[in-house]
Amino acid sequence: MKTLNVAVVGATGAVGQTMLKVLEERNFPVATLLPLASARSKGQNLVFRGETTAIEEACPEAFSDIDLAFFSAGTDTSLSLAPEAVKRGAVVVDNSNAFRMNPDVPLVVPEVNPEALRTHQGIIANPNCSTIQMVMVLKPLHDRARIKRVVVSTYQAVSGTGQEAIAELRTQSSQILLGQPVKPEIYPYQIAFNVLPHIDVFDETGYTLEEWKMVRETAKIMSDETIAITATAVRVPVMYGHSEAINIETEKKLLPEEARAILAQAPGVVVVDDPRENKYPLPTQAAGRNEVFVGRIREDFSTRNGLNLWVVADNLRKGAAYNAVQIAERLLTDGLL
């Protein structure tokens, strides 16, 4: 099997650390690994496949001998360094928002639109975490009954913000339980024992960038601009795993039992739906897993062809690192790398 020189940009972050785990778990054909991060992390060590590797500073010259680069260090880093990596011969799988809506950059969930990879020009965008898990469930239903409208509310874990947010939730939880004062630093308000209807920045419409990502990315991934989508994104005091309440209206009638059968056959999707036994997807059960879990599948009796669904996935895995590695695996399989 062909082996590759692989760089992971943002190797010290929550997504970067998960990326390294997934590459190990999947036995991805890494010849040499180059972990990259900011200057302050240069010289630190990490362990990959039992071997200690030094972290180097992310800069254009670092990509000289790299075949494949995973970017998970934020939009500014991707904008400045991803094109430099491509110039030096690397293919980039980017987890930031930098290139997702660029018409020349494929935005890919391998189970949904792998054909888009054939158009890549060196950069492939990994979709937003909340978008990925939603389209994994929407696409099989859309293919069967055509979805006309989607209303989604998200309940997103703090790990979506990064390591510092995970630490803040732990600290605040302890402080509150001990009766100590809480001082928010990562979020504008206390996140422990609270929910914040605010992810990313607000624009003049009153929506946040996170909400618009779900709208625009879904249309691009599913190649259908006619689907009406509206979203409300909420941060909740959960460490790992995003949850979504999704309401869909379809062109053709789709009964809950039909939807369950369709989703049970969908790659990467697991149906957990037995209310009588209190079985439904939970973020605690999805954490550390690569699948997308769906349950609470039931008819929306307020409209003619409506369904409600509850969808949960590990945002660091299928929502980020695992999807990125799947993209790279598909590039290899299709001879595109």
Q: What is the pLDDT of residue 37?
A: 93
Element (H, E) at 309: strand 306-313
Q: What is the pLDDT of residue 39?
A: 87
Q: Could you give phi then psi for residue 16, rounded to 5 degrees?
A: -60, -40
Q: What is the pLDDT of residue 113?
A: 98
Name the CATH topology of 4-127+320-333: Rossmann fold (3.40.50)
Domain ranges of the chain: 4-127+320-333, 131-315
Q: Is 198 a catalytic residue?
A: no
The CA distance from 70 to 78, in Å, is 10
Is residue 233 a contact partner of residue 155, using CB atoms and an 8 Å limit?
no
Q: What is the pLDDT of residue 2?
A: 87
Q: How many alpha carbons lie under 13 Å from residue 11 in its C-beta half-sphere? A: 29
User: Of residues 59, 120, 129, 142, which has the active-site annotation?
Assistant: 129
- Domain 4-127+320-333 shares a fold with domain 131-315: no
Q: Is 142 a catalytic residue?
A: no
The CA distance from 217 to 313, in Å, is 18
- Domain formed by 131-315, architecture: 2-Layer Sandwich (3.30)
Q: What predicted TM-score, i.e. pTM, was given to this entire model?
A: 0.96
The CA distance from 274 to 260, in Å, is 11
Full pLDDT tens readout for the chain, 337 residues:
689 999 999 999 999 999 999 999 999 999 999 999 998 889 899 999 999 999 999 999 999 999 999 999 999 999 999 999 999 999 999 999 999 999 999 999 999 999 999 999 999 999 999 999 999 999 999 999 999 999 999 999 999 999 999 999 999 999 999 999 999 999 999 999 999 999 999 999 999 999 999 999 999 999 999 999 999 999 999 999 999 999 999 999 999 999 999 999 999 999 999 999 999 999 999 999 999 999 999 999 999 999 999 999 999 999 999 999 999 999 999 999 9
Is residue 16 a contact partner of residue 10, using CB atoms and an 8 Å limit?
yes
